[in-house]
Amino acid sequence: MTRYLVYIIAVHAVLVALTFQVLKTSKQWFIASEVLIGLSLVVGWRIYRSFQKPSEFIASGIEAIRDQDFTVKFVPTGNRDVDELIRVYNLMIDQLRLERTRQAEQQFFLDKLVDASPIALLILDFDERVSAINPKARKLLDLPDNQLIGKPLTAIGHPLLAQLSTLQPDQPQTVKLAGVETYRVLLGQFIDRGFRRQFLFIEELTAEIIETEKKAYGKVVRMMAHEVNNSIGAINSILHIAEPELPNPDLRQAVRVAIERNDRLNLFMRRFADVVRLPVPNRASTNLTVFVDAVGQLMQPQAHARGVQLTTQLPAEPVYWLVDIGQMEQVLVNVVKNALEACTAGNVVDIELTNRQLAVRNNGQPIPDTVVANLFDPFFSTKTIGQGIGLTLTREILLNHGFSFSLATEADGWTVFRLNGH
């Protein structure tokens, strides 16, 4: 455009110079030449403006697109070439606006879907740091956003995320914590602006697995209890009738031993059945300070017999939790008993109560890494004569109360059972 303008000015400058030569010969021709030069300038200027209009439209359109304003459209001018350009531009703007609306709707739907998802989701940025989380992940990790956003997974300091350092993309993995919590995790990938980004799915399986386990072992235990009780009842009835009639004292003693063994077997099966028939907790506001102190005193003789120091750390003010006092006594007695059995003379078992947590620590034999994930599995035991009933019953009581809990040997060598209240 500038070159055209320079060209027009140069041509008309030459024409003006030539008209001055005409002035020497004829004044009329000079005036006519000046009029023609003036008309030529007007026509040239109009042609220049017609050339400039498309550029102005293009500049305005580029500015609107740069500002992401897809509402700006142009009206036809009557110039065929300019109107064709305007038509193409308006079609492009309509398409961009439609795509932008569709993208916004899809993004809105995706955001709603992510927020409503029952699966925890963490989205990572290009540097594999957390850039966004959904409400389920926020609730699961129980950490403020400033301890999550902008940090890599291994730096967040959550026991679940700490186990994901070796997680391979697109390979689901089941992770079990020191308590009963079980999760399925998946590290997925997607492309964002040509570069790879990752996201982490965390699906909690605890309730589903526990319910499946309870159905399985509950059916087996009920069937076993039914058969054993029926058989023992009939056999003991016969033995009780036959015992007085036997003339041989040694034989009568043998029958008595058999009856006692049957009674112990019956008791053994009732203990298994108690886990299946555990009643719904009858919760009431309970002063845990008094309760923990009483359990500590109850277990002192056992600690003294083993040469273990049993201590309690209680807050100055009473701590009240909604619990079934009878069931919680079974839990705490069983946990303290297990802690004492892990200790030898000179070790320490410490019971500590705070407003939000009850912890039982011991510096006895640590829990092997190979059994940590199985501690609360139904009827799992590391004892040679154990049936695993204690921790199974503990698990069921605490789950029925809605408490979270864990049992693990920490880095300092102390084994800690933690019970988190509401």
- Residues 176-226 have pLDDT tens digits of 776 677 788 888 888 877 888 888 888 887 766 666 666 666 666 666 666
Both 234 and 140 in one domain: the answer is no
* Neighbour tally for 340: CB within 10 Å: 19
Residue where one domain finishes, among candidates 72, 107, 142: 107
Both 327 and 240 in one domain: the answer is no
Both 297 and 353 in one domain: the answer is yes
For the chain, the domain total comes to 4
- 3-state DSSP call for residue 215? helix
- 362 assigned to some structural domain: yes
* Neighbour tally for 30: CB within 10 Å: 16
- 112 assigned to some structural domain: no
Residue where one domain finishes, among candidates 144, 179, 204: 204
Both 295 and 413 in one domain: the answer is yes
Both 101 and 141 in one domain: the answer is no
Closest CA to 182 of 198, 211, 160, 167: 160
Both 269 and 288 in one domain: the answer is no
pTM over 0.75: no
- 97 assigned to some structural domain: yes
Both 317 and 414 in one domain: the answer is yes
Residue where one domain finishes, among candidates 56, 84, 107: 107
Both 140 and 195 in one domain: the answer is yes
Looking only at the bridges linking them, the beta strands covering 415-420 and 309-313 are unpaired
Both 308 and 412 in one domain: the answer is yes
Instruction: Answer for the pair 395, 376: CB distance below 8 angstroms, yes or no.
Output: yes
Both 186 and 212 in one domain: the answer is no
pLDDT one-digit tens code per residue, 118-151:
888 888 888 888 888 888 888 888 888 888 888 8
Instruction: Answer for the pair 109, 90: CB distance below 8 angstroms, yes or no.
Output: no
Rg (CA), the chain: 43
393 or 352, which is more confident? 352
What CATH number should be reported for the domain holding residue 407? 3.30.565.10
Q: Does residue 246 carry a pLDDT above 90?
A: no
Both 227 and 295 in one domain: the answer is no
Comparing 15-29, 184-198, 349-363, which segment has the lowest mean pLDDT? Answer: 15-29
Both 257 and 306 in one domain: the answer is no
- 16 assigned to some structural domain: yes
Query: Token pair of 4, please?
Result: 């055209």
Give the domain range for residue 228.
208-276
What CATH number should be reported for the domain holding residue 192? 3.30.450.20
